[in-house]
Amino acid sequence: MLPSASIILKQITVWDTDESIDVILPLGPTASVADQSQQSESAVPILDESNALTLAIRAATQSRSYNEQESVVVDCSGYILAPGLCDPHVHFRDPGQTQKESMLSGCSAAASGGYTNVLIMPNTVPALDGRKLNRSIDGAQEVMDAGFDSVVDYLQHYAQFSGQQLPVHYDLCVAASEGREGNSASQLQDWQPYVCHASSRNSSEEFNNHPIVAISDDGSAITDGILEEVAKNAQRAGIPIVDHCEHHDSGVINEGAISRQLHVPGIPSLTELTIVKRDIALARRTQQHVHLQHVSTAAAFEAIRQAKHEGLPVSCETAPHYIALCDEDVLEHGTLAKMNPPLRSAADRQATIEAVCDGTVDMLATDHAPHTITDKQLSLLEAPNGIIGLESAYGVCHSILVDGGYIDNRRLIELMSVSPARLMGEPSVNIGEFLSDASPADLSSSTTPLEAANTHNSGTHNSAISSRRVLDLRIPRAGRNIDLSILAPNDRWTIEPERFYSHARNTPFASWSVTGLPVATILAASFAFSRVPSTRISLHRPDIIGSES
C-alpha cells in the first residue's frame, strides 16, 4: 500500500543549529487553528498571500483517491525554521475602535509578520479589566450586544461568535486599574479565573485558549497610588507586571533641538527614568517580576543594567522604531513618527542598540498601535501617539541589527520569539527535541522539488535516501502544540503599507528596502499563513518521492 500523501518542506535550516532538515505536515484536515475549539476544513492556510500553496494542496487532495494522492513538496532551501515569533505588546482596537483594527485584521497582520502568538494590551474600549459591564460604561453596548458581560469573555470567545478563523494565538494582558483610569486597582476576583500557567495550557478549560498572562495599564504608567496593590494582585496571580515605564503631563516629541526647531513642547528623558527607577525599587522591595515596556533612553537602560547585575526580577523590551529611528526623523515623517515614549536622540538610539547587543534588552516588541489616516493627518500637537509594526518588524530589525553587524539572526530570533514566549508563560519549541531519522516512505533525498521533478520527468531514479533528519508534524504529541515561523533572512523586499493586512497604514517605514522576509507560519500541524511562491512548490506521488535522488 502506498504511503499517505503529505506536505513536505525540503532542506529547511533549523535556526539554532544550522542543521538542514525536512518537515512533514498532514495533507488532510487538522484542528490546529488558533482557537482550538474550531475545526479546520483542510490543510490549506488560513491566509495564503500567493495562493500557490492553497492551489497545490487542493490539486493534491482532489485529483486522486486518498491512497493515491500526491504529496505537496516545498523547496525550502535558504529558509530558516524557527519557533513562532511572539509579540508581547500589541494593541488590537477590538472592542471599541474597530475602524482602526479588529481582531481579524490585527491577527492577520501578525501572521503576515511571521508571528504565531501576541499579547493584547488592555486599552480596549471598554478596558480589559475583568469587570462585569453595564450599558452606562463607554463601549459596553458592543460587547453586550455580542452576548458577553465582560471584555475578557468577549475576547475569550471571539472566534466562535464572529465565525472567523484567526491565524495566530493570542493571550490577554489585564488592566491594572478599573477602567484603566488609575484610581483603583482592578479586582483580582474579576479576572483571576482566566489566569493560566504553562502547566495547564493544554487542559480542557475553555479560557486556556486565551489566558491572562500579565497585568498593565499600558498607554499609561501604573499610578503610584495603586502600585503596591497591583503588585500584590500580580503576585497572587503569579503573573508579571508589564509597565508603561514613562509618564509626562505635557509634550509631544523628545525634548531637544528638534522640538525647539518645530516649536512644540518636548518630553524630557527623565520622564522615563523616573518610572524605571520606581519600578526597579518595587521589584527590589517585593521580588515581583516587573517587565519594562518600550524602553528608549540611555539613562533608563543603564538603570536596568544595574538592576540586572543586582539580580532583581526585572526585564525589558524595546521596539523596532527605537533601534531604527531617532527624533530627527520626525522632520521627515511628522505624525507618522509620533509615539509614546517619543523617538529619542541619536545618542539614545545608539544606546538602545548597545543594550540589545549586551543583553540588557530581553526582547523586541512592536507596540503595534493602529490609527486611521484621518487621525494621523492632524497636527503634531493633536495627532494620537503610535505606529503599526507587526508586518515590518522582522525586516526592519534584521536590516538594522543583523545586516548592521550588531547581532546574528539567531540572536534576533531569541529576541523576537524565545524571550517573549518565556515572558508570556509559553514553552519555547526546541525543534531538535522532535527530530527523527528520515523515512524512505516519506522523503526524497537531498534534491530540491524542482530537481526531483526534472529527474522524474526524465524517467531516471536513484535509490539514495536523504540523510537529513525529519520533523514529522503528523505525529500527535500530547500536551504540545508546535508553532513555527518560516523566515527568509536573505530575501530583500520593500515595505508597502497599502498591501498590509492591518486596517491601519500609520508607519514611518513605507518604501524602506529591507532584508528578512517572513514566509509562512505553522500552528501545530497546519499552515496558518503562507507567501511561498509557486516556483518553490511541486507535486509528487509518495512512492516516487521515496525513490528519487
Task: Classify the C-alpha dihedral 344-347-350-351 as positive or negative.
Answer: negative
Q: From 208, 212, 235, 61, select the one nearest 122 (Cα to Cα).
A: 212
Among candidate residues 48, 327, 367, 442, the one labeled active-site is 367
If we measure between CA atoms, which residue out of 164, 149, 44 comes closest to residue 92? 164
Q: What DSSP string runs through 464-533?
A: ----S-EEETTS--TT----EEEEEEEEEEE--GGG-SSS----TTTT-EEEEEEEEEEETTEEEEE---
Task: Give dist(CA 527, CA 91) in Å, integer.
Answer: 24
Q: Give residues with Cβ within 8 angstroms of 268, minimum separation 6.
A: 248, 251, 255
The Cα–Cα gap between 296 and 414 comes to 20
CA distances from 36 to 59, 173, 462, 502, 523 (A): 27, 20, 42, 23, 10
Three-state SS at 169: strand
Angle CA 178–181–186, to nearest 5: 20
> What angle, rounded to 10 degrees, do the helices at 298-309 and 270-286 form?
10
Distance CA 95, CA 74 (A): 39
Whether 461 contacts 25, CB under 8 Å? no
Q: For 400, which DSSP code?
A: I
Identify whether 367 is a catalytic site residue.
Answer: yes
Active centre residues (catalytic): 367
